[in-house]
Homo-oligomer: A and B are copies of this chain.
Amino acid sequence: MTARSTNTGEGSSAQDPHRDIPEATVARLPVYLRALTSLAERNIASCSSEELATAAGVNSAKLRKDLSYLGSYGTRGVGYDVDYLSYQIAREIGVTHDWPVIIVGIGNLGQALANFSGFSSRGFRTVALLDAAEQMQGRTVAGLEVRPFADLAEIVAAEQVSIGVISVPATAAQDVADAMVAAGISSILNFAPAVLNVPPGVDVRKVDLSIELQILAYHESRKAAEANGAVDNGSEEGMPA
């Protein structure tokens, strides 16, 4: 999924705290963190793997195995301490401090992202909005002034930004990505429907709305076909002569 390539071929043992968490587990840790936050808001101090798994929508065995990659933070016969486990996961992900983020492309989607409270509340701080269009310059979105795209390198250097969000049209996406990489950004969240080429060491994650819909459409088609032609006779070469 991501275009990683900085693989430390450092096969250490299994459960020492700071090595080698499988990608699939990494993708689920934020889900667990959110479920734990939700439990904490309801003043629940402790929970079992079964409860947490239900809240996160996964299998309890999978959850326990995932957590075991971080270390042994539970107590057998008891469960997990919500606050303690939350902190451990946050530390592992690296969101105990905020990450500065810039958003390039302040169209409809970019504005929505800038206003999205989920960013700021979960370890991220939008430090700048950039857009190439003349008419966007100087406008204020979500309390931030929109700045020219040319300021990218300067801002990245000044604010120590390492994560960038691309919400420009597909045709401009690769250019923006190149500029981001040149400016020193090494993680990109791409909303443009385009394939990005980036050098090794740079991570790209893609969010593509129409692809998601098309996947749903595929399953819908199948459901519809199944409902109609439920006869399902393999009538392809069964014709009697």
A84-120 Cβ-contact flags toward B at 8 Å (1 or 0): 0000000011110001010000011101110110110
Give the distance in Å from the alpha carbon of A8 to the alpha carbon of B229 in the complex: 13
Contact, CB under 8 Å: B109 / A218: no
Within 8 A of B (CB), among A61-86: none
A15-56 Cβ-contact flags toward B at 8 Å (1 or 0): 010100100001101110111000000000000000000011
Give the distance in Å from the alpha carbon of A211 to the alpha carbon of B33 in the complex: 10
Contact, CB under 8 Å: A212 / B205: yes
Stretch at the interface among A130-138, A144-152, A186-194: A186-194
With most chain B CB atoms within 10 A of its CB, the pick from A26, A221, A225 is: A221
The chain B residue with its CB closest to the CB of A120 is B210
Q: Does A154 contact B (CB under 8 A)?
A: no
Contact, CB under 8 Å: B93 / A218: yes
Contact, CB under 8 Å: B162 / A213: no
Least Cβ distance of A200 to chain B in Å?
12
In the complex, what residues of B have CB within 8 A of residue A26's CB? 215, 218-219
Contact, CB under 8 Å: B93 / A217: yes
